[in-house]
Chains A and B, each alone.
Chain A
Amino acid sequence: MPELNLRQMKKDQSGTISSIKVGGELGLRMREMGLVTGTKITIQGRAPLNDPVALRVMGGILTLRNNEADHITVLVDSDD
């Protein structure tokens, strides 16, 4: 199970958030939308220009810009 930066994850890849290293407003926004350590996420897809990225989190869909996704590292599930 490799650890990846969220930006590097591919479409339909899933994993568990292992850390979010950002404070302030962005950190708060991410947390109140359910992005906390231990949350399972799946990459739903990317916008036509590759940015932002859409994630499936807790039964809903969230979108993040790539430079925001940079703060999140994910323990990626193995492919099987």
Chain B
Amino acid sequence: MTQPIHMALAGNPNAGKTTLFNTLTGARQHVGNYPGITVDYKEGFFTHQNQEINLTDLPGTYSLTAYSVEEVVTRDYLVNEKPQVVINIIDASNLERNLYLSTQFLELGCPLVIALNMIDVAKDRGIAINPETLATLLGVPVAPIIARNGQGTKILIDQAVNQATQQWQPRDISYGEDLDAVIMEMIALITEQQFLTNTYPPRFTAIKYLEHDDQMLQKGQQENSLIATRLEEKVTQISDHLLKTMDAYPEAIIADHRYGFIKSILRQGVQTHSFDTDRLYTSDKIDKILTNRLLGPIFMCMVLFGLYQFTFSWSEIPVSWLESLFGWLGSQAGTLLPEGPVKSMLISGVINGMGGVLGFVPLIMFMFLGIAILEDSGYLARVAFMMDRIFRIFGLHGSSVMPFIISGGIAGGCAVPGVMATRTLRSPKERLATILTVPFMNCGAKVPVIALLIGAFFSENKAMYMFLFTLISWVVALLAAKFLRLTVLKGPATPFVMELPPYRFPTLQGLAIHTWERTWQYIKKAGTVILGISILLWAMMSYPELPATRKADFEQQRQHISAAVTPTILAETTSKSEVVSEEAMTLRHQITVIDRLESEQALRYSMAGRIGLALEPVSTLAGFEWRTNIALVGGFAAKEVIISTLGTAYSMGDVKAEASDSLGQRLTADPNWNKVVAVSALIFIMFYAPCFVTVVCIAKEAGHWGWAVFSVSFNTIFAFLLATAVYQIGIRIG
């Protein structure tokens, strides 16, 4: 067996990179930690004519400067990992702009193959491209493909395998007399001193210096500050000269020449238009309506509300199936297992805990499917376009919409990929403000809790209330962002140059992969973190046990009332029969009352009960009793735990009677719960500390644990004040 060939896939966002990656590797891909936005690179494997190929999907970029994290990731990957060949995917209907990135790959010198994607779309638009001429002029193989159906990919991989044997060979592009002269001087100095030559070709380093590339300047200073300073001086000199003589920045001249290079190639018979280039395409016609100043926002609201209806009404049936499955498992375990701590752990800890989480998998899956459709079709970018003006008022950016929506802006996302998606934001301040406020959104873990409470207390109009609570989360998150941008995160706005990709029909494979990846994250979390926490919480709720004397007291009470009836009635009471005499019925009821009292006493006596009780003096201000406190404390670890802990806290003691009651029914029946408490709890759950995984992620993304600590304390205090206000006002107006 030969060595696997190591290839990398790069290209502009929206050029079809993910589609090609999925087509080539199918299911054989390593899913990065938190996918969605392909910032962390994904790896896939496939075999081509007995040759193992290892393909890395790099983040989409327009250029190789170092302004955004994607660009840094791509560039660092190329120079450090040195893949044997780079497949540069290009949108054939937008050749000129896409080739801008290719010119930078040529300058870097990596062995390159160009995948000319969507040649069918280009053809429909009347653009004829001659791939052979393009290949000759660029000096790299060009393969026309249609990534959606895999057409042409065989030839593409053939060419890539051939290119993999090539050495790295930088290409020179001329930047005009003035710059070329300076570049030559800089190259001479760089080569002579072996300055960064292990990582970058000398010419590439020189050009990045001229482009004022921060990352390169920094690396240069670390490598050899003497030479770095000499290079910087040369750059300052030429910049001054160019500004005086041509009124232009060096980076502008570099860009002009790159486009000049591209245009000169395209003019040599590579690209011909058969119709007017300014013609309106189907996508533009759709935009005339969907981003229309009047109809656009109306349509947007309809889409978002439609997504709710779709998710909540269509997922109801599979959710109820899963609920009854877990109910059945619980009752089976109840009859089959012997009494004791193992049984209690399995029913209260594992089955109830996991059931509470896994039962919502269909709902989560429908929501992720809906988001994937909006994302893959190109509609989400229009939402960013239409919302930018509003987001800017709150010190954010149109691109903050994505992280907000992924985190649960349309209810049912996850703050972890949401926080990660903020990497597309370039200003550190807008990015931090987004990172700190996205956890306010109703993520997939909060949705079940919200759905449960709404279902129990506001069952008349579920979708309506759900929509209302989502609106509240948006308003609060935006105001919090504004607050942060006016205080701890003051600073100016960043550029909003953004592309609106043409509308496309999402591919089934793409939708399936997107939906499954995110759903799988949720299931995995349920199977590992949540299972562990459920068992830990069960243990805290069960131990220490009541002292033997108090247990004996309850046993004595039961003995006492049982002794008062005749043996026949007693036998009837303990039998499994549903229809029994009135005396037996009364006895059963009396025993249940004692059982409940005992388990409530036991819960109070347990570790968790003590914590819950200790918090009660404060939490009653917001209307929460000690059992709710236990669940809310568990929610610091993961929001899913809230529902399972509520389930356990309100089910202990209910195992024998009315076991079929759902948690919602139990809460409505509980005297400590009512509509006001429900709203107060909803508000608190929506806005208090992010779950543990998100907190870790915030620390990582913000680059400092201080922000994670800030997020936990700020959110919790804020949420508690809000919940208290709601409760205090609520009970006064009734």
Contact = CB atoms under 8 A, between A and B. Distances in A.
Interface of A: 14, 20, 23, 25-37, 39-40, 42, 44-52, 54, 56-65, 68
Given A44-B284, A48-B296, A31 B252 contact: yes
Contact of A32 (B63, B293, B296, B398): B63
B256 interface: yes
A36 B259 contact: yes
Contacts of A63: 385, 388, 398, 496-500
A73 to B, nearest CB: 13
Given A37-B256, A42-B278, A47-B291, A62 B498 contact: yes
B558 interface: no
A-B pairs with lowest CB-CB distance, top 5: A31-B255, A49-B389, A32-B63, A61-B500, A29-B497
A6 to B, nearest CB: 12
A27 B398 contact: no
A30 B97 contact: no
B673 interface: no
B94 interface: yes
Given A27-B249, A31-B251, A54 B500 contact: yes
A27 B252 contact: yes
Interface in B497-544: 497-502
Nearest to A25: B67
A36 B495 contact: no
B390 A68 contact: no
B93 interface: yes
Given A46-B293, A59-B93, A28 B426 contact: no
17 contacts: A14-B278, A25-B67, A28-B65, A31-B255, A31-B256, A33-B497, A36-B259, A37-B256, A45-B293, A47-B293, A48-B293, A52-B398, A54-B287, A54-B385, A60-B97, A60-B501, A63-B497
Contacts of B259: 34, 36, 39
A49 B390 contact: yes
B611 interface: no
Nearest to B388: A52
Interface in B284-299: 284, 287-288, 291-294, 296-297
A63 B288 CA distance: 15
B274 interface: no
Given A62-B500, A63-B385, A32 B100 contact: yes
Contacts of B497: 26, 29-30, 33, 35, 62-64, 68
A52 B256 CA distance: 25
B297 to A, nearest CB: 5
Which of B95, B288, B496 is packed against the most chain A CB atoms within 10 Å?
B496
B96 A34 contact: yes
Given A31-B255, A32-B65, A68-B495, 4 more contacts: A28-B65, A42-B278, A48-B386, A61-B502
A68 B240 CA distance: 24
Nearest to B393: A49
A37 B125 CA distance: 25
A48 B293 CA distance: 4
B211 interface: yes
A8 B67 CA distance: 29
B209 to A, nearest CB: 14
A63 B501 CA distance: 11
Contacts of B498: 62-63
Contact of B496 (A48, A57, A65): A65
Contacts of A52: 385, 388-389, 398, 496
B252 A59 contact: no
B494 interface: yes
A23 B388 contact: no
Contact of B251 (A23, A35, A61, A62): A23
B252 A23 contact: yes
Given A28-B211, A36-B259, A59 B125 contact: yes
B46 interface: no
A75 to B, nearest CB: 16
Contact of B62 (A25, A33, A51, A56): A33
Given A27-B252, A36-B256, A47 B388 contact: yes
Interface in B258-289: 259, 277-278, 284, 287-288
Contact of A45 (B278, B287, B496): B287
A22 to B, nearest CB: 9
B428 to A, nearest CB: 12
A23 B249 contact: yes
A64 B251 CA distance: 20
Interface in B383-420: 385-386, 388-390, 392, 398
Contacts of A34: 96-97, 100, 259
Nearest to A62: B499
Interface string B86-106: 000000011111001000000
Nearest to B300: A48
Contact of A58 (B67, B94, B293, B388): B94
Which of A20, A34, A39 is packed against the most chain B CB atoms within 10 Å?
A34
Contacts of A59: 93-97, 125, 127, 277
Nearest to B381: A63
A29 B388 contact: no
B405 to A, nearest CB: 17
Given A48-B293, A65-B388, A28 B500 contact: no
Given A42-B278, A49-B389, A28 B63 contact: yes
A51 B287 contact: no
A51 to B, nearest CB: 5
B496 A47 contact: no
A23 B495 CA distance: 12
A45 B97 contact: no
A13 to B, nearest CB: 11
A4 B497 CA distance: 20
Nearest to A32: B63
A71 to B, nearest CB: 10
Interface in B474-497: 494-497
Given A32-B63, A64-B497, A51 B388 contact: yes
Interface in B590-626: none
Given A23-B251, A28-B65, A64 B496 contact: yes
A61 B501 CA distance: 7
A44 B285 CA distance: 10
Which of A34, A36, A37, A59 is packed against the most chain B CB atoms within 10 Å?
A59
Interface string B363-399: 0000000000000000000000110111010000010
A69 B108 CA distance: 32
Which of B251, B500, B501 is packed against the most chain A CB atoms within 10 Å?
B500
Contacts of B252: 20, 23, 27, 31, 36
B156 to A, nearest CB: 23
A47 B392 CA distance: 13
A29 B65 CA distance: 10
Interface string B40-73: 0000000000000000000000110101000000
Given A27-B249, A44-B287, A61 B499 contact: yes
A50 B294 CA distance: 11
Nearest to A65: B496
A35 to B, nearest CB: 8
Contacts of A48: 291, 293-294, 296-297, 386, 389
Contacts of A30: 495, 497
